[in-house]
A and B are shown apart, each in its own frame.
Chain A
Amino acid sequence: MIGLARRRGVAIESVVWPVLGVGVAIAALELGPRLGILPRQSFPPASEIFRALGDLVGGSELWGAIGDTLTSWAKAMVLATVIALPVGMAMGASPVGALLLRLTVDFLRPIPSVALIPVLVLIYGTKPSITVALATIGATFPLLFQAMYGVADVDPVAKDTARVFRLGWSARLRRITLPSVAPYLATGFRISASVALILVVTGEYVVGVDGLGKEVFLAQSGAAYQRMYAFIVTTGLLGLGVNLALLAVERRVLFWHPSQREDGSR
């Protein structure tokens, strides 16, 4: 009984505090421009931004832009997964693989993806594939490193035990490696997903590919500030939505893992 009451208290608190935090942030964005703390002309009060967002929700431009952005994002995530998982797992599983690839990967990783835009413009022009390429490059590395560390971190005792029991290659992968790697991959997916979304929107903004980033650029070029912030808010909400969706998937797939159990006990 006591435990239940305490849990309910925690549940209420976990709703109240975030709502209060968001409320204070919105109130500050409403009052800042109205009190002249923020420049009113280029920083409209929150209520005007939400009104512009409300107008956009009724039209087709917003949904079209969200669709374009999410399409590029999804393609990039598929490509990044296809590249990162085999390479990362190979690097984690065999010392030779790590030696073979490590230097190349370490060289490529610190190059900011945005710095590749000029090169990508020459290769892809200004078609949507440029944002996919950009986001794929950015999203590959977090996933790749998570896969590598995940495979390298498989409990050696478990591995040896499996070998003693003469488990086959596929059984070892299914029973030992994957359960051990899965939480690493889940984290990698979430990091890659936000990185990919950021880069898709950046590419759209810089190059002018259809999507939310281009809408921000167009509104900014026309000094339509309410509209510009409405699209920026949309981008933020989209990122939040993607993260929450992936967390929900993670909770379902990894329900057995200590990190997902409510009391956190091992």
Chain B
Amino acid sequence: MKITSKVLLAAALATGAAGVGASTGATASGDELTPITVGILPIADLAPLFYGIEEGYFAEEGLDVTLEVGQGGAALVPAVVTGEYQFAFGNYVSLMLARQNDVGVQIVVNIVDGAERDDRGTNGLLVDPERFGGIEDLAGATFAVTTLSNIAEVTIRTTLRNADVDDSDVEFVELGFPDMNAAVESGDVDVAWQAEPFVTLGEAAGLVNVADPMYGTTPSMPLAGMFAAESWLGDNPELADAFHRAMTRSLEASTDEEAMRATIAANTQTPPEIVEQIALANWNPELDIEKLAMVAGLAVEYGILDAEPDLDTLVRSAD
């Protein structure tokens, strides 16, 4: 199976090379790979993407993927809008905010949901156990979050309210994931809105995870996926569909936990002994629109969004 696809690929490349200039407009069934650039973050959540590229799922759909690492939405959204990247990874509250500001981005495929069950997820609220016993103590606490007025605030407020904790006096401070644990240890902040591998590292350093803010908001909360510029999607529906198919296939392969850990170890710089310990993300190619609407409603309730976004334009309908 693998050999066949490689032979096909080699043949495709050979004919492509032979017919230079004659193969413009090649599609998935054509004879030449279309180069696309995907903006990513160097995180374990993207293991299925790394895996799918290595396994040739994207090449089989006619896509030659180049990955570019960026520093979150601030760099990735402009790069997609200017056409430098065709796709990029982003969280949905950020994309709703972008659309609210008339930045024409659309979700192409879901990648990762929050934890489905109340067991160890990839996210956590980490505290110093000497200062806080549990989530019920967090009224009025200061939270370290990666971006203010974004998904962190939505999930923290909702998780607190669902646990009957008053959220009216909580405060938020912006910090990167790698810096949060030290800030909790030194007492600069009370709680870290943390993600793997720093949840595992924080627990190893003596911090305690009092709640998974994603699960605390809703089980399998849609978190982040691949987005593209609406105008580019309108011009390149075949490429978008091909990317959607390859990404879906990659995500379906994510049930192979061992393969995912090996991919994470190979594609991020997290030391292998830590990769063995971290919780894996809840990967899901299906975007739950009802839950996305719920997240949007919460963002409006907390004043993060001005109005409910139009989900029909935010999400590209595949095929």
Contact = CB atoms under 8 A, between A and B. Distances in A.
Contacts of B269: 218-219, 221-224, 227
SS class, residues of chain A in contact with chain B? helix
A217 interface: yes
Given A222-B269, A223-B270, A224-B270, A41 B204 contact: yes
A190 interface: no
Interface stretch (B71-79, B114-122, B242-250): B71-79
A42 interface: yes
Contacts of A220: 176, 178
A206 B71 contact: yes
B198 A223 contact: yes
Contacts of B197: 222-223
Interface residues of A, number: 22
Interface in A23-80: 39, 41-42
Nearest to A227: B269
A221 B84 contact: no
Interface in A89-143: 118, 121-122, 125-127
B71 A39 contact: no
Contacts of B79: 121, 125-126
A206 B69 CA distance: 11
Nearest to A215: B269
Contacts of A221: 41-43, 177-178, 268-269
B68 A122 contact: no
A39 B271 contact: no
A127 B289 CA distance: 35
Most chain B CB within 10 A, of A125, A208, A219, is at A208
A126 B81 CA distance: 13
Contacts, number: 73
Contacts of A200: none
A207 B71 contact: yes
B274 interface: yes
Nearest to A121: B78
A223 B178 contact: yes
A224 B201 CA distance: 11
Contacts of A125: 78-79, 82, 84
Interface residues of B, number: 29
Contacts of B11: none
B234 to A, nearest CB: 21
B70 interface: yes
A122 B58 CA distance: 29
Contacts of A39: 182, 185, 205
Interface string A189-228: 0000000000000000011100000100111111110010
Interface in A244-262: none
A41 B318 CA distance: 45
A117 to B, nearest CB: 9
A207 B75 contact: yes
Contact of B69 (A118, A121, A208): A208
Most chain B CB within 10 A, of A39, A121, A224, is at A121
Contacts of A206: 71, 75
B40 to A, nearest CB: 10
A121 B75 contact: yes
Contacts of A208: 68-71, 75
B271 A224 contact: yes
A217 B78 CA distance: 20
B254 interface: no
A126 B84 contact: yes
B155 interface: no
A129 B70 CA distance: 15
Given A125-B82, A221-B268, A221-B269, A214 B198 contact: no
Interface string B256-277: 0000000000001111001000
Shortest 5 CB-CB contacts between residues of A and residues of B: A222-B269, A224-B269, A222-B270, A125-B84, A222-B268
Interface of A: 39, 41-42, 118, 121-122, 125-127, 206-208, 214, 217-224, 227
Given A207-B71, A208-B71, A218-B42, 6 more contacts: A41-B205, A125-B78, A208-B70, A214-B69, A220-B178, A221-B41
28 contacts: A39-B205, A41-B181, A41-B204, A41-B205, A42-B181, A121-B78, A122-B78, A125-B84, A126-B84, A207-B71, A207-B75, A208-B69, A217-B42, A217-B69, A218-B268, A219-B269, A220-B176, A221-B43, A221-B177, A221-B269, A222-B42, A222-B197, A222-B268, A222-B269, A222-B271, A223-B198, A223-B271, A227-B269
